[in-house]
């Protein structure tokens, strides 16, 4: 199954979501590959730090949009999950990621300003839908904080886009930033609350995958 993590904004958590989902799926025993499509190649740097004793994850850097579709299909044959770590650049790559994905997850920060700027992404999404109508897509709220009042109303703002919003979310936690450079997921960090968040998120992704017919039992 191919899972695209996309949003045309930088810093919303695409890489964080891709890496933590990959780590959790690898711990369950799935064969997982991340395709890093961002020119910064953050996931490629991250994987280079990953300890050999941890569950194995394959990471492939791929910034040529024309090569994406066939490369991802090949990786999909060899792996249970291929996770596409998206690029923020308004390029052909984003359209190709949207079209290549069996499921799209769009991380968003809980700020009204950020959510209103989703227009550009949805223009791309609508264009892509001319080629493939049924593209499952969900928002995922990242860097949530209970103490910020505005965050409570974020679901209502997101509902206006007419796409699903995942039930689970990641709070703002140091563990996410710390693991972004040491090759780990927060599941492999001492922060148990963060570990619970990524575990619940992964369960929700697997539940969606089951409904879509990509995962049995
Ligand atoms: N829930 C979170 N709590 C704390 N820091 C986070 C969280 N999510 C992401 N970050 C940090 O924010 C920065 C941007 O996240 P990143 O996943 O690289 O975004 P993107 O890939 O969309 O550009 C990174 O330094 C990352 O470690
Ligand atoms: Mg990134």
CA atoms within 13 A on the CB side of 80: 16
CA dihedral 29, 35, 40, 46 (to 10 degrees): 20
Determine contact, residues 12/114, Cβ cutoff 8 Å: yes
Closest-lying ligand 1 atom to the alpha carbon of residue 142: 1
Provide the CATH topology of domain 2-211.
Rossmann fold (3.40.50)
What is the length of the chain? 217
Query: Rounded to the nearest whole angstrom, what is the distance from the C-alpha of residue 181 to the centroid of ligand 2?
Result: 12
pLDDT digit of tens for each residue in the chain (217 aa)?
A: 999 999 999 999 999 999 999 999 999 999 999 999 999 999 999 999 999 999 999 999 999 999 999 999 999 999 999 999 999 988 899 999 999 999 999 999 998 888 878 888 999 999 999 999 999 999 999 999 987 777 778 888 888 888 999 999 999 999 999 999 999 999 999 999 999 999 999 999 999 999 999 998 7
Q: Domain extents for the chain?
A: 2-211
Q: Is 164 in the pocket of ligand 1 (CB under 6 A)?
A: no
CA distance 7 to 169: 16
| Residue whose CA is at the smallest distance from ligand 1 atom 9 | 13
CB-ligand 1 contact for 173 (6 Å cutoff): yes
Distance 72 CA to ligand 1 centre (A): 24
**Cα-to-centroid distance, 217 and ligand 2 (Å):** 32
The answer to whether the CB of 19 is under 6 A from ligand 1 is no
Alpha-carbon dihedral 141, 144, 150, 156, rounded to 10 degrees: 20
95 lines ligand 1 (CB under 6 A): no
Mutate which of 11, 39, 42 for ligand 1 pocket (most atoms within 8 A of beta carbon): 11
């Amino acid at each position: 199954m191919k899972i695209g993590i996309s949003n045309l904004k930088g810093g919303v958590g695409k890489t964080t979501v891709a890496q933590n989902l990959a780590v959790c799926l690898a711990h369950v025993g799935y064969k997982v590959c991340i395709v890093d499509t961002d020119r910064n190649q953050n996931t490629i740097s991250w994987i280079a730090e990953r300890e050999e004793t941890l569950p194995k994850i394959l990471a492939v850097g791929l910034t040529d949009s024309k090569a994406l579709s066939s490369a991802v299909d090949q990786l999909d044959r060899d792996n249970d999950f291929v996770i596409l770590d998206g690029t923020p650049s308004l390029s052909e790559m984003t359209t190709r990621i949207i079209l290549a994905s069996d499921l799209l997850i769009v991380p968003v920060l809980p700020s009204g300003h950020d959510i209103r700027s989703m227009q550009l992404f949805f223009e791309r999404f609508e264009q892509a839908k001319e080629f493939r109508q049924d593209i499952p897509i969900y928002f995922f709220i990242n860097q949530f904080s209970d103490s910020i009042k505005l965050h409570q109303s974020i679901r209502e703002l997101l509902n206006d886009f007419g796409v699903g919003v995942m039930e689970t979310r990641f709070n703002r936690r140091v563990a996410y930033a710390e693991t972004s450079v040491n090759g780990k997921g927060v599941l492999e960090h001492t922060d148990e609350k963060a570990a619970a968040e990524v575990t619940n998120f992964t369960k929700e992704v697997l539940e969606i995958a089951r409904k879509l017919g990509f995962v049995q039992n």
